[in-house]
Amino acid sequence: MKLSYDSKYQLKESFADFSDFLKKHQDWTGWLNLEKLSEESLIAKIIEKSQYIRENCDVFLLVGIGGSYSGAKAIIESLKGYFVDSKPEIYYVGNSLSSEYLFNLKEKIKDKDIVINYISKSGSTLETKVVLEELEKLMAEKYEDSELQKRIIYTTSNPEIVPEGFDYFLIPNNVGGRFSVFTPVGLLPVAVAGIDIRELLDGAKAVDQDLAKEYALFRKKMIESGKEIEAYVVYEPKLDHLLEWVKQVYAESLGKNNQGIFPAGLVNTRDLHSYGQYLQEGKQNVFETVLVVDEKVEIMVPAYGKNLSEINKIAQKATTIAHQERVPNLIIEVGILDAFKMGQLLQFFMLSCVMSGYLEKVNPFDQEGVEGYKKEMLKLLT
Amino acid sequence: MKLSYDSKYQLKESFADFSDFLKKHQDWTGWLNLEKLSEESLIAKIIEKSQYIRENCDVFLLVGIGGSYSGAKAIIESLKGYFVDSKPEIYYVGNSLSSEYLFNLKEKIKDKDIVINYISKSGSTLETKVVLEELEKLMAEKYEDSELQKRIIYTTSNPEIVPEGFDYFLIPNNVGGRFSVFTPVGLLPVAVAGIDIRELLDGAKAVDQDLAKEYALFRKKMIESGKEIEAYVVYEPKLDHLLEWVKQVYAESLGKNNQGIFPAGLVNTRDLHSYGQYLQEGKQNVFETVLVVDEKVEIMVPAYGKNLSEINKIAQKATTIAHQERVPNLIIEVGILDAFKMGQLLQFFMLSCVMSGYLEKVNPFDQEGVEGYKKEMLKLLT
């Protein structure tokens, strides 16, 4: 991984108290202890379970919302090629309350073999609970009890929700939802998709602390210069959900105390044809964080005597030049994305986000604000 | 359609000079002349061509970027159910420079019957041109010349790019890309998807001018109160691309003269678990425009004695209550979305956007800023 940005930004500041900051919040930093998360007994159990799932179903349903599904989806979509049939098919359910989605999904999968992974830290999240109840009806019609117990797997911090005889994975109490991608929350679905989770964890362990500090300092400069919006930019459409994951990590960790940067996701060159005009001539309240990956596939474009992947890189460089006067940008070059690099990248974003919390003097681990709509909802529902 | 917002906003202002404003920009207002766009001879030709396409291919490739594909994709995805197999399959190509996307797509479709609709107002847009050249190689391997001439259809304002013997549809010169959804740009692909384009156009004609004014005035209040970001919110995941279309219309029309509101798209309840915290406790620089549609499917949720669609509505109402102190919001209720309502909604957004341009004293029709990256790109490419 490599960061680059305008050399006029001098990013030097002490992180001397950062370890105290982490210590103060030690009830929430379990995800930093990757050695513990990747204990061989746990990893072996996850892989064994993922093999059972791969061999015993056509359809794998990941029932979860927010941090309970987003990391897995980001990894799977970013590493999977376009239009590649996966076995089992993976569907992400319970991240909306759309009845049409649920109805049509049930129609589509009713005659197939199904395994469900129900992921909920508290066990009580409304969206996933409602959807699980509906899917349980379908499962009960299809399978005997003994079979059912193998086909619904729970991932939770609250084992009390797990019915007797069913298998489950624990989410450590000291890991919050948006930081849980390297617990069974992310690891089991990612393993089901056939991705090497040991490589992924090795990547996370190899996170570059200095780069994470650099990015946090760059963000601080942007905040100080009055920027209000951070546009995360990619030039590869399949990285779209990776941006959704990044947006949650940053908005939910740092959007508090009347502070925070509003995160947006741009998929270029598509969005040069929507946001391009605003960035070039609109209000100067945006900075860009551009994620550049290398492509493995080469297609020669005779008109320019160049490969399409080179032309995509040129588009990124041209945009950087065109924007930089009004839209400061930081480029993150990743190389060819594989499981190792993916682990490194996700840990980089989580760690750097917490460093931003340290620099901005906010607690990046809580999310009291999310309770707002939940409370109003309970009032209206009951 | 119905708008609602906090009654403390008194939205009264004269639009007395609006017709002069339109007259001044009359070279760009062709899309307001829906009678002309829906002339029977043109509609009949579009429908005839769409029938030919539906009967003669498995795969329909819409090659276009920005306004050349976004409106059609928004309509098709919003009106199509989830997991519904469409015949022909529709793919949107040329809206990125990803070589992996293009390579894998070619692998997937190479043995199927294909029709291409190449959509480019100028005819020279780099992304679509490069992709067309690559797809032409595949087509030339599959089809004789006479067959090829039926299977590549051009939609452009520049008929000079159309090779002899090939069929094409004209984009009127006085309709800009992001306003072109009711020209053959949007109508042909939408008809290929089996949607009634006469209903769609009837809906557009039935646009409510007063509601469009009200929304433009609400936006003006938000700008005056210092808001920087407009979050367009839906509670139905399949409306995701509709938000992409809206974002282009507003960012590209109004992001100029150092002005403009940064548009963002939120798909709830998913994004309550990412942006929710920021909206509730972060910087108070956002307002919300919430698009509410009714669902046709009913799934009873015994735990609450309510249908899932009611629970989704309750989530929307609870969020409105929870946010409104810090995040002002305007609710647009559409009812059950059909082709007519869709036409009405898209015309509402385009018309109200131009009214915003009038109120904010910017020309909403040009997009000089988009040229920035294109110029830099040509320098690097040649």
Q: Which tens digit of pLDDT belongs to each residue from B231-261?
A: 999 999 999 999 999 999 999 999 999 999 9
Average confidence (pLDDT) over B160-185: 97
Lowest mean pLDDT among A110-124, B2-16, B159-173: B2-16
Chain B positions touching A318 (Cβ under 8 A) are 373-374, 376-377, 379-380
A282 with B373: Cβ contact below 8 A: no
* Segment (H or E) for B301: strand B300-301
Q: Would you call B277 and A252 a contact, using CB atoms and an 8 Å cutoff? A: yes
List pLDDT tens digits, range A219-232: 999 999 999 999 99
Yes or no, beta carbons of A373 and B270 under 8 Å apart: no
Instruction: Give the number of beta-carbon pairs within 8 Å between A and B.
Output: 354
Chain A, 363-382: which have a CB under 8 Å from a chain B CB? Answer: 367-370, 372-377, 379-382
Average pLDDT, chain B: 96
Are B280 and A370 within 8 A, CB to CB?
Answer: yes
Residues B96-120 have pLDDT tens digits of 999 999 999 999 999 999 999 999 9
Query: Between vectors from CA A233 to CA A232 and to CA A236, what angle results, nearest 5°?
Result: 135
The answer to whether residue B371 scores a pLDDT higher than 90 is no
C-beta neighbour count of B248 within 10 angstroms: 26
Q: Do B100 and A127 touch (CB under 8 A)?
A: no
**Residue A157: its pLDDT value, please?**
97
A377: which chain B residues are within 8 Å (Cβ-Cβ)? 314-315, 318
Give per-residue pLDDT as tens, A130-181: 999 999 999 999 999 999 999 999 999 999 999 999 999 999 999 999 999 9
- Label residue B147 by pLDDT band (50, 70, 90): very high
Among candidate residues B12, B273, B361, B375, the one labeled active-site is B273
B321 closest CB neighbour out of A307, A376, A382: A376
Q: Which residues of A touch B235 (CB under 8 A)?
A: 96-98
| Contact (CB<8Å) B235/A276 | no
Decide if B372 and A322 are in contact by the 8 Å CB cutoff. yes
Per-residue pLDDT at A373 exceeds 90: no
Facing B373 at nearest CB: one of A134, A177, A276:
A276
Determine the straight-line distance between the first and last CA of chain A, rounded to whole angstroms.
51
All residues of chain A having their beta carbon less than 8 Å from the beta carbon of residue B97 are 235, 269, 308, 311-312, 315
Residues of B in contact with A308 (CB under 8 A): 97, 99, 102, 130, 134
Q: Give φ, ψ of A3 to 5 degrees.
A: -110, 140
Domains of chain A, first to last: 2-23+206-370 (3.40.50.10490), 27-198 (3.40.50.10490)
Whole-complex ipTM: 0.97
Residue A240: is its pLDDT beyond 90?
Answer: yes
What is the reported pTM? 0.97
Residue B59: exposed, middle, or buried by beta-carbon count in 10 A (0-12, 13-18, 19+)? middle
CB interface of B with A, residues 50-89, below 8 Å: 65-67, 70, 81-84
Please provide residue A276's backbone torsions phi and psi, each rounded to the nearest 5 degrees: -50, -45
Cα gap B77→A166, rounded to integer Å: 38
DSSP annotation string for B102-127: HHHHHHHHTTS-EEEEEE-SSS--HH
Per-residue pLDDT of A280-302, as tens digits, reads 999 999 999 999 999 989 999 99
